[in-house]
Structure 1
Amino acid sequence: MRSRLLAVLAVAVIALGGCSAQEPARPGALAVGLVEPGTLLPADVDDPAGLLVTGALWTPLADYDPVSGRVTPRAAASITSPDRVTWTVKLRAGGRFHDGSPVTAKSYVDTWRTIAGEHWAATPVLTESLRAKDISAPDDATIRITLDRPANQVPAWLSAPGLAPLPASVLASGDWTGFARHPVGNGPFRLDGDWQPGTGGTLRRVPPSAGHPDEVDLRVGDPVEQYDAVRDGDLDLTTSVPGERHDAMHADFTDRHLMWALPRAGYLVFPASATRFADATVRHSLALGADRGALANGPLAHQADPAKALLPPSSAPGERTGTCRPCTFDPAAAQSLLGQARFTGPVPLYSDLGGDGWTRTLASGLARTLGVPVTAKQRPSAGPVDGPSTVELKLVSPSPADVLGELAELAGYSDAGFTGDLAAAEAAATPQEAGQLYRVAENQALRDLPAIPLWTGHGHAVWGPRVHDVRATPFGGVDLAELTG
C-alpha cells in the first residue's frame, strides 16, 4: 500500500527449546507450528504468521481472485453496484462474534471509521484506495458505500483481511493491546484463552464440523526445530520452512509440502531526486545486471522467487506467461546499455533497516556485473536521496491498483499514459477489461522503469501423513478451517 514500505525479511522468532519434546496433539486436534505473529489485531497485521491466525479467527466479506477478477462472497451475501460509484454490501444472516454479539452492518462501519483514524497496516485501503465519500449502515444487513469516482476494485479492497469487523466492546474501549492478546472474531475458530507470546494458543472450531479437527494447537517455535518435529512425527504441520531445510523438503515431504505466493515483493525504486538515474537506459542496465537468483538463494534464504513482472503474483490480473525483459539477468546486455548511456557510476543503493542484507548482496553483484562502484547505504531518516532505494512492499489488498499506485508514488512517476491507463482500469466495466488495462499500465512502467522488480515472497508448509486438504492463499496462508486429519 502507498506510504507503507517496510524493508526486511527479519522476523523475530522465539524458540521452543526443541519441538520433539512437545506433547503430541490431543485426539481430535492438530498441532501446527508457526513463528510469533507480529500482532493479532487484524487491521494491523502484515506478517504471514499474523495472517494465518487472524485468518482462522475472522471470516472476510469476500475472497477476491486477481487473476480472474472473481468475487466469492463469505461474510457478505453479495457486493453489487449499478454504476461502480454506489456499492451495496448485503451481509449473510446470523453472523455473530465469538462473544455472542451480532455482526451487523454497523459493526463494519464503526470498525472502518476506527481504522481510518488509526495508523494501522489496513488504514490506506480506506483512506487512499477506497476513498469513500460516505459509508453507512441503512439497516443491520446492509452497508452502503459511495465513492468519489467510479471504481471496480471495491470487491478487491473489501476482501482485505484487515477490514474484518471488531466487536463493539473493543471499539468502545480502544484497548487494542488487550484485544490483541485475546482477539474476538467472527470466523470458523475462536481463541481458547489468551494468546501466550512465545508459546501460542489453542483454536476451537465454532461450531464443530464433521471430518475437520475441532481443535488446532498453534505452537510458536523455531522453524528448524518445527520442521524436524513434523518429519519425526511430533508436530502435524508447520507453516515455515527455513532456508537450511529447503533442499531437503522435496525428499523429506515428497507429496506433503506446499508453496504459495505471499503479498510481499522487493523493488529497486528510483526517486525523482536521483537525477543521475533519469535516463531509462541506465535503469534498464541496472535491471539486467541484477542477479535475482543470488538474492533468492542467498540473503532471502529461499523465502522468495526472482520477480517475473512488476506486479507480484498475489496482485496480478490474468494469466502470466514468461518473464519480463527487465526481470532477466543478462550481464552482457547490461554492460552494453551502460556503455551506451556513458554512465560510469558511482551507484549508491539505499535501504531501510532490515533490508540491508539483501541490499548489500544486490550492490556487490551489480558492481561485479557492471564494473562500476555500487555501494549499499543506510537510508537517511529525512530528506531526499541521490540514488535508488531498495523497498519491500507488504500488501494488504489483492488489488493491482495498490501496487502500481504505490510504486509510482514512491518514485514520483507521473507519466500521462501510465496515469491514464490506471484511471481507465479502475473505471472499467468488467474485471477482464480492467485486467487488460492494468497490464497496459504495467507494461508502460516496465518501459520507463521507475521501479525495478527484484523478488516476490512465497510461503511454505510441510505436514505429516495424517493431515489432508492443505490449501493456502496469499492473504491468509494455510486455511486451517479446511484441514482434515
Structure 2
Amino acid sequence: MRVLPLALAAVLAVVPAACTPEAEPPSPDVLTVGLPEPGSLVPGELRDQAGRTVASALWTPIPPSAATSPDLLTWTVRPPAGRFHDGTPVTAKSYADTWRLTGGSLGAKEITAVDDTTVRIVLEQPSGEVPAKLTAPAFLPLPGSVLVSRDWAGFSRNPIGNGPYRLASPWEPGRGAKLVRVTDEPGKPKEIDLRVGDPGAQYDEVKAGQLDLAVEVPGARHEAMHADFADRHALWPLPSAGFLVFPLGDRRFEDAAVRFAFAMAADRAALAKGPLGDQADAARGALPGERSGTCRPCSHDPAAAKALASQGGFSGETSLYFGPGEEAWARALAEQLQGALGFPVVAKPRHEGNLDGPLAITVQAATPGETVAALTAATGYAGAGFGDLVAAASSAPDEEERAQRYRLVENQLLRDLPAAPIWTGHGHAVWSPRLRNVVSAPFHGIGLADVSL
C-alpha cells in the first residue's frame, strides 16, 4: 500500500473543503422542504408521508362539513369549486368521475353529479364515516385529461391538482421539484423547493439553518430531536398498522389460546426500535384512536405465551409469511416467536393459495371501519354477532357514539383475535425557527399549504 507524505496528505485533505461552498440559507420567499423520494404522486396511490406532503400543497381537500346526510345512506356533497392547474374547471363531475374510479372504499352503489356543485352518494349500507373518508388523498379530484388517458405514470411525474401550489416543472426522481403559488397571499411562500435526500442529512441541514423543514426523522435522531427542536418538532399517527393474521381455517390455530400465545410472544417495543427504525409504535389496540382499556394480547409476556401454546396443544414447526415491504419486521418477529415459544418459526415470502401459518400484513386505514374491513377481508373472520356490532358502529348518528360502538367491535376482535395487532405507524418532522403555522394532522402530517414564513 502506498503511503502519501504527511505534508502532501494534509494539503489534499484541505482542498475539498476549500473548494466546496457552504450551503446558502433559504431565500426569504421560498420554503425549502426535505423529504424522501415519494412512491407515487397519484392521490389514489399515496402510501408514504413524502407523497402526502407533496399532495397537501398541490390539492385542496374536501372539508368534512361538505358532506351531509339525513339517514347516513344517501349523502349530499358540495365540494369546493375552483380550477385545476391546467385551467379546466373543478366541478362536481370532476369529483364524481374520480370517486367512481378510485373510491371503492366508500361502499357506494351510486355516485352521481347532480349539478355543477353537488354530488350524490348512495351507499350500500348506512355509514357515518363518509365525511372522514372523503378527506383522504384517494378522494382528491383528478382532471379530465388523466381520467380519459389513464396515464398514471405520466401523471405521477407531472400531477395536476386544484390547490394553492402547482408544479413549475415535472418531478425529477432523486432531486425533487419546485412548486409555485397560484395566487399570492401575505405571509405564504411564493415558492416551495422540494428536495429529495437522506433524512439524516436533511435533519442536520434544518439544524444548521440550511433547510426549513424535514418531513422525516430517522430513528437515530429521535432522542436528539427533543433537545435540538424543543418546540419545533411534531409527531402524528399515520394511517398504517402492522398485524399478524392467523389462518382460521387451520386446525392448529382454532384454539384462541394458540393465537394469544403468538400475540403475547411478540416484543413489539423491540420491533419498533429495531427493524421498524423508530418509525412506528408498539400497538395498544386493534383500531385507530386511543383505547382506554387494556389490550391483553398486545402485552409481551413470553412465559404466559409458552404456557398458552402448550395449553392449546401447539407444537412443531410453523411458517410465518410476509409480503412486499414486510420482510424486515416479519423475520425479526419470527425470531422472537421462536425464542419465546420454543419451536421453529420460519419466515417465508407469501405465495398464492392457502397458507399454513400466520401472515404479516400492513393495513392502510385512517378510520375504524376501514381497518375492520381490511382485517375481515384478510382473515375471513365472522364471529357471532360481529356483523351486527360493525353495522351498529358504522351507522351511529354522531361521532362520539360511533367511537363508543367501535370500541365494542374492537373488544370482540381482541377477544377472538383473528389478527394480532403488532405496530402502528407514526410520522415526525422538524423545522427552522423562521416558519410559522406548522401544523400536523393525524393521518395526514404537515400541510405545506398552511405554512407561513
Give yes or no for the alignment of 1:374 onto 2:345: yes
Q: After the TM superposition, which residues 67-466 of structure 1 pair with which residues of structure 2 at under 5 Å, given as runs?
A: 71=64, 73=65, 78-92=66-80, 94-113=81-100, 115=101, 123=102, 126-127=103-104, 129-312=105-288, 316=289, 319-321=290-292, 323-380=294-351, 382-395=352-365, 398-466=366-434
Secondary structure of residue in 1 paired with 2:238: strand
Deviation at 1:367, TM superposition (A): 1.8
Deviation at 1:284, TM superposition (A): 0.7
Find the aligned partners of 1:383 and 1:174 in 2 and give their Cα distance.
31
Deviation at 1:305, TM superposition (A): 0.4
For residue 15 of structure 2, what is the aligned residue in structure 1?
none
Amino acid corresponding to residue 78 of structure 2 in structure 1: K
CA deviation vs aligned residue, 1:368-406 (integer Å, no higher than 9, x gap): 2222222212212x11111101111123xx321110121
Secondary structure of residue in 2 paired with 1:213: coil
- State which structure, 1 or 2, has the greater radius of gyration over its C-alpha atoms: 2
Amino acid corresponding to residue 440 of structure 1 in structure 2: L
For residue 44 of structure 1, what is the aligned residue in structure 2?
45
Secondary structure of residue in 1 paired with 2:168: strand
Find the aligned partners of 1:131 and 1:212 in 2 and give their Cα distance.
38
Deviation at 1:475, TM superposition (A): 3.6
Contact 2:73 2:125 (8 Å CA) reproduced: yes
Amino acid corresponding to residue 391 of structure 1 in structure 2: I
Find the aligned partners of 1:439 and 1:463 in 2 and give their Cα distance.
36
Find the aligned partners of 1:147 and 1:184 in 2 and give their Cα distance.
29
Find the aligned partners of 1:446 and 1:399 in 2 and give their Cα distance.
17
Contact 1:268 1:453 (8 Å CA) reproduced: yes
RMSD: 1.9
Give yes or no for the alignment of 1:471 onto 2:439: yes
* Paired positions, count: 434
Find the aligned partners of 2:411 and 2:188 in 1 and give their Cα distance.
45
TM-score by length of 2: 0.91
Runs of 4+ aligned structure 1 residues displaced above 4 Å come to: 19-23
User: Quick check: 439-448 or 269-278, which moved more?
Assistant: 269-278
Find the aligned partners of 2:85 and 2:150 in 1 and give their Cα distance.
18
Contact 1:20 1:232 (8 Å CA) reproduced: no
Secondary structure of residue in 2 paired with 1:302: coil
Contact 1:24 1:31 (8 Å CA) reproduced: no
Deviation at 1:336, TM superposition (A): 2.5
Amino acid corresponding to residue 346 of structure 2 in structure 1: T
Find the aligned partners of 1:254 and 1:288 in 2 and give their Cα distance.
35
Structure 1 residues 479 and 276 mapped into 2: Cα distance closer, same or farther (>3 Å)?
A: same
Secondary structure of residue in 2 paired with 1:447: helix
Deviation at 1:479, TM superposition (A): 1.1
Contact 2:284 2:291 (8 Å CA) reproduced: no
Structure 1 residues 23 and 194 mapped into 2: Cα distance closer, same or farther (>3 Å)?
A: farther
TM-score by length of 1: 0.85
Contact 2:318 2:356 (8 Å CA) reproduced: no
Contact 2:35 2:194 (8 Å CA) reproduced: yes
CA deviation vs aligned residue, 1:171-223 (integer Å, no higher than 9, x gap): 23333222222211111221112111111111222322222222211100111
Find the aligned partners of 1:102 and 1:20 in 2 and give their Cα distance.
46
Extract unaligned runs of 5+ from structure 2: 1-19
Amino acid corresponding to residue 287 of structure 1 in structure 2: A
Find the aligned partners of 1:366 and 1:177 in 2 and give their Cα distance.
41
Amino acid corresponding to residue 46 of structure 2 in structure 1: V
Amino acid corresponding to residue 321 of structure 1 in structure 2: S
Contact 1:25 1:217 (8 Å CA) reproduced: no
Find the aligned partners of 1:323 and 1:230 in 2 and give their Cα distance.
39
Secondary structure of residue in 1 paired with 2:339: helix
Amino acid corresponding to residue 68 of structure 2 in structure 1: T
Contact 2:218 2:277 (8 Å CA) reproduced: yes
Contact 2:237 2:443 (8 Å CA) reproduced: no
Secondary structure of residue in 1 paired with 2:169: strand
Deviation at 1:271, TM superposition (A): 2.2
Structure 1 residues 169 and 354 mapped into 2: Cα distance closer, same or farther (>3 Å)?
A: closer
Find the aligned partners of 1:476 and 1:188 in 2 and give their Cα distance.
17
Structure 1 residues 324 and 147 mapped into 2: Cα distance closer, same or farther (>3 Å)?
A: same
Find the aligned partners of 1:102 and 1:362 in 2 and give their Cα distance.
50
Secondary structure of residue in 2 paired with 1:425: helix
Find the aligned partners of 1:358 and 1:346 in 2 and give their Cα distance.
20
Secondary structure of residue in 2 paired with 1:26: coil
Secondary structure of residue in 1 paired with 2:204: helix
Contact 2:257 2:308 (8 Å CA) reproduced: yes
